[in-house]
Structure 1
Amino acid sequence: MFNKKKQPPIKSLIAEGSRITGDISFADGLRVDGDVTGNIRASDEVASILVISESAKVIGEVVADHIIINGSVKGPVHARLMLELQPKARIEGDVQYAALEMHQGALIAGQLRPIILGEEEKPTLKLAANNQ
């Protein structure tokens, strides 16, 4: 699905130790290592990727095409194409996804709602193997 195309470059970084209050809009790619209180929304005009690292804490809505989470999110998550939950991902809020990859250890306190892309297509769910 998303992996067949070239992923957009990550052009912006919110560094560890940074604290941002307010909504963030971005295009292409964004990596969050710090704390954000506000909504993070990718443009729907171009492909987007959002990485929320292990040290990151986000309080607010998160929307992008491809989202990779290994940190903490308190708020709804909407992955238009692909959501990857790494082992230390913690989500408190409802999650919408077209495809979901969830590693052992990731936690969600909320409802999972697949996005139905077409009548023939069903959302994909993949449980990542523990590679220890």
Structure 2
Amino acid sequence: MLRMGKNPNEEKSQTQPETDSYSTRSYSPYQSGETQTRPSTEAPATPKAQTESETIAREIKDGTLSGFVASGTVITGEASFKSLLRIDGRFSGRINSATGTLIVGSGGQVDANVEVSIATIHGVVNGDIVAGQRIELGRAGKLNGNIQTPSLQIEQGGIFEGSCKMVQQKAATDKSSKVERKDNVIDAGKLEAVKAEKPEDASNRKPAVAVGGAAS
């Protein structure tokens, strides 16, 4: 009679795989929504740092950036450049460029006299500035010194302490130099005319001596 009945162990063996398969399907990691949200939060942080470093490297290769003083760097001396110099650290001494542009970052500080074509200040500058084209002072910029430029732009919040002398652009100086050259040409012509009179006097004296010899 025991053989005729159902074995309880067989019922357990039939029910257990169904629960296991159900558990594996419900807790599969591919069906959870957390894996889709994590990469979206971490992705935008990395490209910003890469783009800043890449732009500086490209500017150096292309020749648009002549020099760069990074934050935390201190340099003392004289700097001469052609195209563009950016200072995010600290520089003291002298800066000179006839056609270049100086950019002082928000964390940069310059303790020097500056002679450039364009000066853009977002940090601190302690010294006199002579700019051939213009001076731009940002809203976070501070300028302590005397300036000389044909154009001055100060944003709201910028601090300027010193004297300002507005000068005309180079076109006026070029005209004055041309006028001086014309005057010099006229004076040179007068000198040549004076020199031309001397040989005429010498030629007049020679025939006078010859006539005196014939009379004797």
TM-score range, shorter chain: 0.7 to 0.9
CA contact (8 A) 2:117 2:131 kept: yes
* Amino acid across the alignment from 2:85: L
Match of 1:33? 88
The answer to whether the Cα contact below 8 Å between 1:16 and 1:56 also exists between their aligned partners in 2 is yes
Aligned partner of residue 54 in structure 1, secondary structure: coil
Whichever structure has more helix as a proportion of its residues is 2
Instruction: Select 2:145's aligned residue among 93, 97, 102.
Output: 93
Checking the alignment, whether the CA contact within 8 Å between 1:10 and 1:49 is kept in structure 2 is: no
Task: Give how far 1:25 is off.
Answer: 1.1
Q: What count of residue pairs does the alignment treat as equivalent?
A: 109
Q: Which has the higher contact order (CA 8 A, sep 6+)?
A: 1
Q: Which residue of 2 aligns with 1:116?
A: 168
Give structure 1 stretches of 5+ with no counterpart: 1-7, 120-132
Equivalent residue number for residue 196 of structure 2: none
Q: Which structure 2 residue ranges, 5 or more long, are not aligned?
A: 1-62, 174-216
1:103 to 155, 160, 164: 155
Report matched runs for 1:34-113 at 5 Å: 34-42=89-97, 44=98, 47-113=99-165
TM value normalised by structure 1: 0.77
Shift of residue 11, structure 1, vs aligned partner: 2.7
State the distance in 1 between where 2:131 and 2:74 align. Answer: 24
Q: Provide, for residues 21-40 of structure 1, a one-character-per-residue CA deviation record: whole Å limited to 9, x for no partner.
A: 11111111110000011111
Percent of matched pairs sharing the same residue = 27
- Which one-letter code corresponds to 2:80 in the other structure? S
Which residue of 2, 10, 20 corresponds with 2:75?
Answer: 20
> What's the secondary structure of 2:136's corresponding residue?
strand
Contact 1:53 1:70 in 2 (8 A): yes
Residue 11 of structure 1: aligned partner: 66
From the two aligned structures, give the one with the greater strand fraction.
1
Structure 2: how far apart are the matches of 1:51 and 1:72? 11
Equivalent-residue separation in structure 1 for 2:159 and 2:133 (angstroms): 20
Large movers: runs of 4+ above 3 Å: none
The structure that has the greater radius of gyration is 2
Distance in structure 2 (CA, Å) of the matches to 1:100 and 1:86: 11
